[in-house]
A = this chain, B = another copy of it.
Amino acid sequence: MPPAERADAARNRAKVLEAAEQLFATRDPATVTMDDIAKAAGVGRGTLYRRYPDRASIARALLDAHEHEIQERLLRGEGPLGPEPATTPAERLSAFYSAMVRLLERHSHLLLGAETGPARLTTGAYGFWRAHVRMLAAAAHAPDPDVLADHLLAPLAPEVYRRHRDQGVSPERVEAALHLLAHRLLGDRTPNS
């Protein structure tokens, strides 16, 4: 039984997260150093490392809340995200894409700080998304859902999204392109904008 967190520890945890949030939002996340975060939070390096072994784990902690929210909705299933009465797999994948675009739009800096490169695919969150999409692919009787799932998630790589946005592509356009993908790959043949 973890004997509960001490008050100063909790205070510092909050200070760290707040400072990190700020830094990630302000500067390029890749250039933010552990030392920067420690200084900004007003704590020592040791304190920082005690809880967070690296930058990624901090970003992940910041993301956790938001990702859990989506995961909840996926499981419980309000609206088209969940297993509502008469929704097709394609519709549900579209809804998932929309939710992810919103997440990317709001927190792309965090996602870039946390999960760039090969590490992204080993996250717990990625595993969750993957399982969900795989299930949808299987439900749509698509061939080889195991491989397809990863291919369907690939366009959600933070670097791809960020690049689109930087080039003036609106979130809505990205979303539309993803909806096309969903409908063309998982089923019904009357898609389109």
Write the residues of chain A forming the contact surface with B, with a CB cutoff of 8 angstroms.
112, 116-118, 120-121, 142-144, 146-148, 150-151, 154-155, 157, 159-160, 162-164, 169, 173-174, 176-178, 180-181, 184-185, 189, 192-193
Contact = CB atoms under 8 A, between A and B. Distances in A.
What's the number of copies of this chain in the assembled complex?
2
Contacts of A121: 159-160, 163
Contacts of A112: 118
A185 B181 CA distance: 7
A112 B160 CA distance: 17
Central interface residue in A147, A157, A193, by most chain B CB within 10 Å: A147
A62 to B, nearest CB: 19
B178 A151 contact: yes
A193 B6 CA distance: 59
A174 B144 CA distance: 9
A192 B157 CA distance: 26
22 contacts: A117-B117, A118-B159, A121-B159, A142-B180, A143-B180, A143-B192, A144-B176, A146-B169, A147-B169, A148-B180, A150-B155, A150-B160, A150-B163, A150-B164, A151-B154, A151-B155, A151-B177, A151-B181, A154-B157, A180-B185, A184-B185, A185-B185
